[in-house]
């Protein structure tokens, strides 16, 4: 069994705060990290490696420094890594990204399962998993919280979260899954894998290696274009209530009643 994990390096938004005066992002000293949801994807793949001896390969598309994210995945126990990096990949939207990842997966075939995080925290689109699945003509189950192989690795029994609870599904393999936190907390790197991760060679594939023309990738290969970026409008009153807790409670109920909040 061969499991491919798709990950992304993103800016660490944990320490980012909104500047209340300018209402903009304070990005000073923000480092790059592996997208937190992708750590759950790595964990899901490693659980399959533990239980079935599956071979695991991690891929990412990004600038040369995205190699760090791949080395982190190797330190957690992933077997192999490939970096998809090419100047022509820059500025890709979800379509161009999916296209590039799909070609990389084809090059890694045979592949039984592809695991992604539910979305990346910088763009929050959640589109690359399903779009890549379509280009590979595979089913894609999103928001997966539990997975079990069945029928001699022919299919998988999946639990996926919905807006109102969850569903149990059976999906034929090969398939693409996007996973959420309930799949399992990421493990801690082991010493052996840590040492290996530092030395292991990571091949770099560019557009030509994937058989893609420069017009098919990056900004040129994208359908969507950003035409304007601006700060969101500030929120309303921002009023601190004053007085004793009883007075503030009274005032709050009055405000919420006058705003017709249901239940008040």
Partner 1 sequence: MKVIIDKNECTGCGSCVEVCPVEAINVVDEKAVVSDECTLCGMCVDSCEFEAISMPELTSKEEDLSLYQGVWFFAEQRGGEIHPISYELASTGRRLADKLEVELCGVLFGHGMEEAAKELIRYGTDRVFYVGREELEHFNEERYANVLTYLIENYKPEIFLAGATAIGRTFIPRVAASVKTGLTADCTGLDIGEDGLLHQTRPAFGGNVMATIICPHGRPQMATVRHKVMAACEIVDHQGVVEKIDVPEELLESRSELLEVIHEEDDTAQLTEAEVIISGGRGLQKAENFRLIEKLAKLVDGAVGASRSAVDAGWIAASHQVGQTGRTVAPTLYMACGISGAIQHIVGMQGSKIIVAVNKDPNAPIFDVADYGIVADLFEFVPALIKELESSSTCEID
Residues 7-26 that bind partner 1 (CB under 8 A): 11, 13-14, 16-18, 20, 23-25
In the complex, minimum distance from the CB of residue 182 to partner 1, in angstroms, rounded to a whole number: 6
Query: Per CB under 8 A, does 165 bind partner 1?
Result: yes
Closest CA to 48 of 115, 105, 102: 115
Query: Least CB distance from residue 112 to partner 1, whole Å?
Result: 13
Is residue 199 close enough to count as binding partner 1 by CB under 8 A? Answer: no
CA–CA separation, 203 and 67 (whole Å): 10
Q: How would you classify the pairing of strands 17-18 and 25-26?
A: antiparallel
234-263: contacts with partner 1 (CB under 8 A): 235-241, 245-246, 248-250, 252-253, 255-256, 259, 261-263
* Residue closer to partner 1, measured from CB, 163 or 201: 163
**In the complex, least distance from residue 103 CB atom to partner 1, rounded to whole angstroms:** 14
Out of 64, 110, 152, 162, the residue judged to bind partner 1 by CB under 8 A: 162
Q: Which is nearer to partner 1, 54 or 171 (CB)?
A: 171
Between CA 195 and CA 198 the distance in angstroms is 6
Q: Which stretch binds partner 1 (CB under 8 A): 42-50, 71-79, 84-92, 123-131?
A: 123-131
CA distance 42 to 58: 8
> Contact between 187 and partner 1 (CB under 8 A)?
no
Q: What is the sign, positive or negative, of the torsion defined by CA atoms of 172, 176, 178, 181?
A: positive
85 or 94: CB nearest partner 1: 94
Which long-range contacts (C-beta less than 8 Å, at least 24 apart) are formed by 246-255? none
In the numeric block, the tokens 């900004």 are attached to 219
Whole-number Cα distances in Å, 50 to 1, 45, 146, 220: 12, 9, 15, 41
From the CB of 243, what's the least distance to partner 1, in Å?
A: 10
Structure tokens at 146: 């539990």
Phi first, then psi, for residue 88 (nearest 5°) are: -75, -10
Q: Which of 126, 140, 144, 205 minimizes the C-alpha distance to 175?
A: 140
d(CA 65, CA 114): 23
Burial class (CB in 10 A: 0-12, 13-18, 19+), 46: buried
Which of 55, 91, 95, 108 touches partner 1 (CB under 8 A)? 95
Q: Are 204 and 85 in contact (CB under 8 A)?
A: yes
Does residue 106 belong to the site contacting partner 1 (CB under 8 A)?
no
Residue 153 binds partner 1, judged by CB under 8 A = no
Q: Which of residues 217-236 bind partner 1 (CB under 8 A)?
A: 220, 222-232, 235-236
With CB under 8 A as the contact rule, the residue among 171, 207, 212, 217 that binds partner 1 is: 171
One character per residue 29-68, x = contact with partner 1 (rule: CB under 8 A):
-------xx-------------------------------
Could you tell me which stretch among 52-60, 129-137, 146-154, 193-201 binds partner 1 (CB under 8 A)?
129-137
């Amino acid at each position: 069994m061969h499991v491919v994990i798709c990950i992304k390096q993103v800016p660490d938004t944990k320490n980012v705060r909104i500047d209340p005066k300018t209402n903009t992002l304070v990005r000073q000293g923000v480092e790059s990290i592996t997208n937190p949801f992708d750590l759950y994807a790595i964990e899901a793949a490693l659980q399959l490696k533990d239980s079935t001896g599956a071979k695991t390969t991690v891929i990412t598309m990004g600038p040369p420094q995205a190699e760090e994210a791949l080395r982190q995945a190797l330190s957690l126990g992933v077997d192999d890594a490939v970096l998809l990096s090419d100047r022509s990949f820059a500025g890709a939207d979800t379509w161009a990204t999916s296209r590039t990842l799909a070609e990389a997966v084809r090059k890694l075939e045979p592949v039984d399962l592809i695991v992604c995080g539910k979305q990346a925290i910088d763009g929050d689109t959640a589109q690359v998993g399903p779009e890549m699945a379509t280009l590979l003509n595979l089913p894609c189950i999103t928001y997966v919280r539990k997975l079990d192989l069945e029928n001699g690795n022919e299919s998988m029994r999946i639990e996926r979260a919905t807006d109102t609870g969850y569903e149990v599904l059976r999906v034929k393999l090969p398939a693409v899954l996007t996973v959420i936190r309930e799949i399992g907390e990421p493990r801690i790197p082991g010493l052996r894998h840590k040492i290996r991760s530092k030395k292991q060679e990571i091949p770099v594939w560019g557009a030509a290696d994937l058989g893609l023309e420069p017009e098919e990738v990056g900004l040129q290969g994208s359908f969507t274009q950003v035409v304007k970026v601006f700060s969101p409008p500030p929120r309303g009153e921002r009023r601190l209530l004053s007085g004793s807790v009883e007075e503030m409670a009274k005032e709050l109920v009055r405000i919420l009643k006058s705003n017709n909040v249901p239940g008040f």
